[in-house]
Amino acid sequence: MHRVVIHPDSRSVEARDGEKLLHAAWKAGAGIKSVCGGRGKCGSCLVQIESAAPGALGEPGESESELLPAHPAGGTYRLACLCEIHGDIAFSVPPESQAVLAAPRKPHTLTAVAARPVVRRISVRVDPPAFDPPRSLARRLTDAIAPALSRRAIHLPLGTIADLSALRGFDGLAEVTATVHRERDVIQILPGRRARTCGLAVDVGTTSFVAFVCDLESGEVLATRTAGNPQAIYGEDVISRMTHVQQDPSTLATMRRLLVDDLNRLVDDACRECGIAQDDLVDAVFVGNPTMQHVLLGINPESLGRGPYLPVWSDGVEVEARDLGLAIAPRARVFVFPMVSGYIGGDTIAALLTRGADF
Ligand code: FES
């Protein structure tokens, strides 16, 4: 293995003999433009070699030489997608080759719609453990929550109790706030009284994404954040990203992680702005183009790139936030919109639902 250092962030990564600079950069999380998806066609992945052990760089082939600038201003320049690593090297990514330069604005329009959340929070008092007759914590919680919902029974999953049991003094709590999904499933129990019921709405685009933190009772948008999609290091269009997954299926997990990590940072920042905790986000909805929706859910999007261009699935799906690695209430349900076809995704359906004929 060879040691590769990538500037300007001084990221360091191990690379196999013969691995390309661009692959090493991806592993290190460094963003290098790759408009053609690393196929040696565009010249956008130009990097400058800072230092290299003797023989550490493969010789440029004919196609690379054709794309290299004729007389760059001093130094050794190479195309990251074609240059092979055969020893320890350090290189820098000039500003014009950096993939994510700044968070772009993602234009959006707010449309007033009636708020009809599928979750609600209730605060209830819980009988003490010694109450007669003796009952388990789960039983005492159920006995407190069900009447507050005017129901005879509710579903209190073991996972919700397991989360609660991680808290100090969980068995003696006198008052709790329960978050209930579709008036039946208790997806979260927290000590004390929590006032706000909030949710997260995210539109994942190929070049950028936008996240809205909303008050689910009033419908008010409390905070908005946009950022460049970090998957741009795998190419600027969906075809390039599909090609990468086709060539190396492990890329899919990395693409997903990049997106979720950035999204979590944005959500953390948005929550601070509006003064809520991340576990106050108890519901979420995601839309995107079909490729982005596949990648978000960890599903190989290859079939979208070849005839008959069909998605792997097309129905709306619901998953728990913790399964996506989202840093909101762990058992919050995340609804990912249905798709019409391989190139009409949940983003289009969401626009039609909210804008109707105006869209
Ligand atoms: S030439 Fe296009 S990414 Fe390298």
Element (H, E) at 165: helix 158-165
63 CB near ligand 1 (under 6 Å): no
pLDDT tier, 105 (very low <50, low <70, confident <90, very high otherwise): low
Cα–Cα distance measured from residue 336 to residue 317, given in angstroms and rounded to the nearest whole number:
5
What is the model's pLDDT at position 32?
Answer: 87
CB 242 within 8 A of CB 302: yes
Q: Is the pLDDT of residue 171 over 80?
A: yes
pLDDT tens string 216-240 = 999 999 999 988 888 877 877 888 8
pLDDT tens string 119-130 = 999 999 999 988
pLDDT tens string 201-215 = 999 999 889 999 999
CA of residue 32 to ligand 1 center, whole Å: 9
What is the model's pLDDT at position 184?
Answer: 94
* Residue to substitute in 34, 64, 68 for testing ligand 1 pocket (most ligand atoms within 8 angstroms of CB): 34
CA of residue 307 to ligand 1 center, whole Å: 26
Give CA angle at 29 (27, 31), nearest 5°.
115
Angstrom CA distances, 326 to 65, 181, 243, 294, 322, stand at: 44, 18, 26, 16, 6
Cα–Cα distance measured from residue 336 to residue 284, given in angstroms and rounded to the nearest whole number:
9
Angstrom CA distances, 53 to 80, 86, 87, 88, 127, stand at: 17, 9, 6, 6, 71
The total of other beta-carbon atoms located within 10 Å of residue 117's CB is: 17
pLDDT tens string 51-71 = 998 999 988 988 898 888 876
Q: Under DSSP, is residue 65 helix (H, G, I), strand (E, B) or coil?
A: helix
First-last CA distance in the chain: 53
pTM value surpassing 0.85? no
Of the listed ranges 107-116, 146-155, 161-170, 299-308, the least confidently predicted one is 107-116
Q: Under DSSP, is residue 212 helix (H, G, I), strand (E, B) or coil?
A: strand
pLDDT tier, 103 (very low <50, low <70, confident <90, very high otherwise): low
Token reading at 275: 């003064």
Residue with tokens 């054709």: 66
Token reading at 263: 């999204």
Residue 18 φ/ψ, nearest 5 degrees: 90, -10
99 CB near ligand 1 (under 6 Å): no
Q: Under DSSP, is residue 315 helix (H, G, I), strand (E, B) or coil?
A: coil
Give Cα 191 distance to the centre of its chain. Answer: 29
Average of pLDDT values for 281-294? 97
Could you tell me which residues come within 8 angstroms of residue 112 by beta carbon, excluding any fewer than 6 positions away?
219
